[in-house]
Amino acid sequence: MSDLFLSLHDMDYPKDSWHLVVVDNGSRDKTLEILSAWQVKMHNFETVIYNEANKGFAAANNQGITYALKNSPDYIVLLNDDIVVEPNWLNVMIDKMEQNKDIGLAQPLITRYPEINKINTFGNACQFIGFGFCWLEGQDINLTLKNYQPAYLSFSAVVIRSEVFRQIMKILIFVSAPGSRIGIYLLSKVPLSIIATNFQAKKIKSDISGWKKTAII
């Protein structure tokens, strides 16, 4: 997990433009000590949400997203604790989504760690019977298909436009008014934004979210 924080600390993205929130999902090791140490080192890491028990991946993500939305971000970023980001990854992601407002969710090219020349996933695909799998998993990093449209994105690392959540809430509360419409957003993968995942070393699920007023995307 320290590899994640070190890589976030070294990002090129302006440090006053994003905030870091960690959801600790009932860890029983030295995770809280590590988090406390990094809060001292990172001025924009102020909030840790503690769960006494592991509430699961989706519930922990929802906690972080709910907290972030209260701060009116432009984007929300979800990152697993086993991710290591490249310094420019967030700049590339934000630029891509700013250029195309139809992109609601975007995923970087995720490689293995430390085998960063091997792909972990470039957006996920579905088999004909419906099971999902990591697209191009294990292939060389240069083997990417520019026109490939993923069936769904890997939520180990994803940038989400906040407006997506607002549109979802309109659906959930059945808002209907003359002239109103629910936005349809594209999924996107960004090959020039690269991060790595140490997927064989998962011990806890501490999920990261933040905001760009901008948010950590």
In this predicted structure, the answer to whether residue 45 has a pLDDT above a threshold of 90 is yes
In this predicted structure, the answer to whether residue 177 has a pLDDT above a threshold of 60 is no
- In sequence order, the 6+-apart residues with CB closer than 8 A to the CB of 76 are 64, 65, 68, 69, 159, 160, 162, 165, 209, 210, 211, 215, 216, 217
Query: What's residue 151's pLDDT?
Result: 83
If one compares 9 and 125, the residue with the highest pLDDT of the two is 9
What are 92's strand-pairing partners? none
Tokens of 41: 């080192």
Query: What's residue 203's pLDDT?
Result: 32
Confidence grade of residue 116 (pLDDT, cut at 50, 70, 90)? confident
Query: What's residue 133's pLDDT?
Result: 85
The domain ranges of the chain are: 2-215
Superfamily (CATH H level) for 2-215: Spore Coat Polysaccharide Biosynthesis Protein SpsA; Chain A (3.90.550.10)
Most confident region among 103-107, 128-132, 182-186 by mean pLDDT: 103-107
pLDDT digits (tens, 9 = 90+) for 119-165: 888 888 888 787 888 878 888 888 766 666 788 888 889 999 999 98
Cα gap 13→208, rounded to integer Å: 16
Query: What's residue 217's pLDDT?
Result: 30
What is the model's pTM? Answer: 0.79
Query: What's residue 209's pLDDT?
Result: 37
In this predicted structure, the answer to whether residue 59 has a pLDDT above a threshold of 60 is yes
